[in-house]
């Protein structure tokens, strides 16, 4: 069974570095977005104030660093900024206002940086001429670059947060399911022990010798329960081979046969191909016990109990039925409340284990017997 780790794997990067720089995958995406802009600036280079085409790598790198280096580094600061606002739980309106102010500041800084470079390289007159032509365009370009970076970093953090919350919710659901499974199993074990000991007690009064044999058989059955309990605590799964579950059920029926004698007639129809499949421990036995309790214990006449197992089309079909007095089902085709702890507990465990893939159908009418049919996913060992 797949389990959720108790703690998510931690990044190998120092915490302070993770706070300042984007994670590697996001940083690679950041570089990918900048790549076309870098290429354009490496190919189109200014020479003596004129835009020309050049494939000189050194000249292109210098042009990129001069024109885009400051913007590239400044926009990376949005990563720690978005993290800072997230940690302080800024409202959406506050974040938008902060980004609007900073976007304007960023555009002005980009413009001022380019203006100073032009002053240093071509003189004040050329820079002023460029300012008149580029002012509005540079403000728009800088604001657009800021919006893309801020939106991307914020969206990345939102997705990460959603994934962490989903993982935490899934972990909580898994732990809750395990807890409920353990609680249901803890109900089922005493239920089985009490009823089996009650059957042995009935033998002790009538046939002490047979009761002694029954106690030895009961010790083997108890070992099965303890082994599956220990394995469940170790691995978190109480899945067992269907072969073992049926062997345990057969031991239980042998014990009951000592008490019921010829009143208990058994019919087994087991598909050999299904024996290597796995099911939750104590899936079949409680259904058999339910039939013993309601179809055989209250009556002195003989009765037939059948157990049928078949693997077909990727599904495991298990049927436990009897020809006892049966009962009336409610409008939903379910046993009315109070119809037995074992049946309700088995169904709830199967729901927790398999979800919507598990089916349990009850077929019964007064005087026409009682049958439980399980339809489960076919899981090989």
| Residue 291 and residue 324 in contact, taking contact as beta carbons nearer than 8 Å | yes
* Predicted confidence pLDDT, tens digits, the chain (381 residues): 333 333 444 445 566 666 777 888 888 888 888 888 777 766 655 444 444 455 556 666 666 677 777 888 888 889 999 888 888 888 889 989 999 999 888 888 877 877 787 777 777 777 777 666 666 777 787 888 899 999 999 999 999 888 888 887 776 666 666 666 566 666 656 666 777 787 778 778 777 877 888 888 888 888 887 887 777 767 767 788 999 999 989 988 988 888 788 889 999 999 999 999 999 888 898 899 888 888 888 888 889 999 999 999 889 999 999 998 888 887 666 676 655 567 888 888 888 788 889 999 999 888 888 999 999 998 876
pTM over 0.75: no
| Residue 246 and residue 208 in contact, taking contact as beta carbons nearer than 8 Å | no
The torsion angle over the Cα atoms of residues 107, 113, 119 and 122, rounded to 10 degrees, is -90
Helices (H), the chain: 15-20, 24-43, 57-76, 78-87, 92-122, 124-206, 208-235, 242-260, 285-291, 341-354
Please state the separation of Cα 250 from the chain's center in Å.
Answer: 36
| Residue 215 and residue 313 in contact, taking contact as beta carbons nearer than 8 Å | no
CATH of domain 207-377: 3.30.565.10
**Side-chain half-sphere CA neighbours of 377 within 13 A:** 13
* Domain positions in the chain: 15-170, 207-377
| Residue 304 and residue 263 in contact, taking contact as beta carbons nearer than 8 Å | no
| Residue 368 and residue 355 in contact, taking contact as beta carbons nearer than 8 Å | no
């Amino acid at each position: 069974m797949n389990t959720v780790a108790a703690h998510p794997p931690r990044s190998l990067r120092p915490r302070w570095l993770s706070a300042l720089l984007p994670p590697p995958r996001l940083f690679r995406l950041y570089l990918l977005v900048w790549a076309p802009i870098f290429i354009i600036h490496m190919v189109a280079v200014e020479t003596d104030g004129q835009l020309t085409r050049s494939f000189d790598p050194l000249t292109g790198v210098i042009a990129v660093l001069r024109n885009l280096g400051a913007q590239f580094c400044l926009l990376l600061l949005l990563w720690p900024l978005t993290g800072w606002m997230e940690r302080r739980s800024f409202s959406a309106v506050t974040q938008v206002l902060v980004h609007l102010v900073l976007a304007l500041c960023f555009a002005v800084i980009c413009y001022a940086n380019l203006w100073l470079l032009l002053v240093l390289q071509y003189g004040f007159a050329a820079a002023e001429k460029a300012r008149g032509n580029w002012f509005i365009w540079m403000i728009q370009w800088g604001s657009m670059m800021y919006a893309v970076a801020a939106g991307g970093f914020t969206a990345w953090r939102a997705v990460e947060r959603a994934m962490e919350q989903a993982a935490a919710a899934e972990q909580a659901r898994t732990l809750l399911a395990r807890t409920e499974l353990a609680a249901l199993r803890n109900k089922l074990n005493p239920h089985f022990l009490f009823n089996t000991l009650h059957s042995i007690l009935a033998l002790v009064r009538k046939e002490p010798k047979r009761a002694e044999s029954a106690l030895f058989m009961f010790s083997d059955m108890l070992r099965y329960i303890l082994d599956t309990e220990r394995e469940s605590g170790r691995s978190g799964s109480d899945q067992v081979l269907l072969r073992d579950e049926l062997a345990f059920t057969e031991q239980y029926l042998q014990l009951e046969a000592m008490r019921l004698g010829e009143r208990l007639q058994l019919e087994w129809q087991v598909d050999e191909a299904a024996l290597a499949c796995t099911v939750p421990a104590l899936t079949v036995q409680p259904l058999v016990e339910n039939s013993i309790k309601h179809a055989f214990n209250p009556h002195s006449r003989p009765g037939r109990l059948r157990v049928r197992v078949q693997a077909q089309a990727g599904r495991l079909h298990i049927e436990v039925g009897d020809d006892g007095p049966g009962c009336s089902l409610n409008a939903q085709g379910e046993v009315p409340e109070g119809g037995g702890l074992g049946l309700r507990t088995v169904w709830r465990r199967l729901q927790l284990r398999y979800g919507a893939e598990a089916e349990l159908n009850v077929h019964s009418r007064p005087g026409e017997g009682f049958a439980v049919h399980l339809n489960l996913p076919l899981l090989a060992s």
